[in-house]
Structure 1
Amino acid sequence: MSHLSVARPLVELCVEGVDGAIAAEAGGADRVELCASLLEGGITPGIGVVARTLDRLSIPVHVIVRPRGGDFHYSEEEFAAMGEELRALARMGVPGAVIGCLLPEGVIDEDRMARLVEAAGPMSVTCHRAFDMTRDPEEAVEALIRVGVARVLTSGQRDSAAEGLPILRRTIAAAGDRLVVMVCGGLDETNIARIASETGAAEFHFSAPSTGPSAMVYRNPHVGMGGTALSREYELTVTDPEAVARTIAALRGA
């Protein structure tokens, strides 16, 4: 078992919407990944949400560009839309984008990824957990380096970083100083320090969700939007700034 340390690991919060981004910064995050629909693993947020978040935050905002939930093998139209979104985000001055494309065989789609990195222009590009759906982590690392992404987000190809520790170590060793490996997957104040010690990763990514009731007084008992359960219709999931702060303190030994 290795026990490594990084002087001051960077913390990125995965957030949904402007309010989540504001809460993440209040809790001490260094950067946010801005998404919509975290129930689907995160999809591209609306342009107004991006603009408002850039206006309200002083920390960097990286925006996911993912046209839908599900797998990471996209149609020609979906791929074209991703390119348009990246170019629009670059024009807005967004500092980073989060993308991922795979081929059906479970490998990085290098052609499409290279074209998206080009479309991103000056933005720093992260490959999201599409990486975790690849057949071989070392093979995927080399592909991502070839296409020019800056970092990869991974839980070690398992549901949680704790379960994925062996593959996280392999991935970090393969990447060396050529690609930043940002660790995610079930991280919170109870385990993040141990995961940091055992991987030596420089960047960590988590969400800190808290569920509360809707402010709606009138509640139609006969319909749920989009087929959701009626109980979900009147629940809100928000970022908890206190949980963010506790997890960051645990990571940094404060």
Structure 2
Amino acid sequence: MNPTNNLLQFEVCANSVESCLAAQEGGANRVELCASIPEGGTTPSYGEIMAAREVLNRTRLHVIIRPRGGDFTYSDLEMKRMLADIDLCRRAGVDGVVFGCLTAGGEIDMEKNAILKHQAGDMSVTFHRAFDRCSKPYEALECLVELGVDRVLTSGQQRTAEKGIRLLYELQKRAGNRLSVMAGCGVNERNIFKIYVETNIQEFHFSARESIPSPCSYMDKGVLMGTREYDEKYIEVTTARRVMHTIAALA
């Protein structure tokens, strides 16, 4: 028996304007626009944000506010850049922002997150997978409720949301209607129904990307622009087909 709950929300982690368009075509409720996906996502460029805002007319646009990869303990200089990026997003008409600050000890940094949330104004606020680095997840959840964020994106502190089902269930039960718990990381058309049934979570975050061959006919194999793990002969992009199939798994 498949759920028919109108409250289900599907968010696509989009790495480009092209991925945003595919997410919209596939029926996603919103996108989280990110750069540097291999690093876990960083703030995209001004041009990317503005172009995405221009083409998204049915799907809401959220933007990650993360100045670098690595940990989530930020300096004052990094905070200054994050505040400026949030201000840019607000002026561009972005629907929501996604951020997360932790203390060095793995706790929610109440002061820094409150500053960022205030800067966001009326935009929707998602606390991202910095949550999965928190030392005490239940206490962290209560901190996020106190901060008044709209949702938390988490894999249940495991490598994938499917492996984190046990904690996801507990977080969903404890959160109630105080904030939304969104399952993300490794969510796809093959496991989304299982995650839904075993957690009762209503929001899902997935990339639905595929490898598309590069149109470049000449590429010097001896010169790499990045790490050896990244195959530069292909472009990773969200496809409408996979977005539709993933949503259909709960339709």
After TM superposition, the score normalised by the length of structure 2 is 0.95
Aligned residue in 1 for 2:103: 103
Query: Does 2:32 match 1:33?
Result: yes
Query: Partners in 1 of 2:116 and 2:36 — Cα distance?
Result: 22
User: Unpaired runs of 5+ in structure 1?
Assistant: none
> Where do residues 1-254 of structure 1 align in structure 2 (5 Å cutoff)?
7-8=5-6, 9-58=8-57, 59-226=59-226, 228-229=227-228, 232-252=231-251
Query: Partners in 1 of 2:108 and 2:229 — Cα distance?
Result: 39
Q: What amino acid maps onto 1:72 in structure 2? A: F
Seen in structure 2, the aligned counterparts of structure 1 residues 78 and 220 have a Cα distance that, compared at 3 Å, is same
Superposed displacement of residue 162, structure 1:
1.7
Superposed displacement of residue 6, structure 1:
6.7
Aligned-pair identity (%) = 45
Superposed displacement of residue 169, structure 1:
1.1
Query: Partners in 1 of 2:229 and 2:157 — Cα distance?
Result: 33
Seen in structure 2, the aligned counterparts of structure 1 residues 4 and 108 have a Cα distance that, compared at 3 Å, is farther
The answer on whether the counterparts of 1:5 and 1:200 sit within 8 Å (CA) in structure 2 is: no
Query: Partners in 2 of 1:234 and 1:68 — Cα distance?
Result: 25
Query: Partners in 1 of 2:32 and 2:100 — Cα distance?
Result: 14
Bigger mean CA deviation after superposition, 216-225 or 165-174: 216-225
Superposed displacement of residue 107, structure 1:
0.6
Superposed displacement of residue 175, structure 1:
1.1
The answer on whether the counterparts of 1:172 and 1:201 sit within 8 Å (CA) in structure 2 is: yes
Superposed displacement of residue 212, structure 1:
2.1
Seen in structure 2, the aligned counterparts of structure 1 residues 87 and 231 have a Cα distance that, compared at 3 Å, is closer
| Corresponding residue SS for 2:250 | helix
Query: Partners in 2 of 1:88 and 1:119 — Cα distance?
Result: 10
Query: Partners in 2 of 1:189 and 1:170 — Cα distance?
Result: 23
After TM superposition, the score normalised by the length of structure 1 is 0.94
Cα RMSD for the two superposed structures: 1.7
- TM superposition outliers: structure 1 runs of 4+ over 6 Å: none
Bigger mean CA deviation after superposition, 95-104 or 196-205: 196-205
Q: What amino acid maps onto 2:21 in structure 1? A: I
Seen in structure 2, the aligned counterparts of structure 1 residues 6 and 110 have a Cα distance that, compared at 3 Å, is farther
Query: Partners in 2 of 1:14 and 1:39 — Cα distance?
Result: 12
Superposed displacement of residue 173, structure 1:
1.6
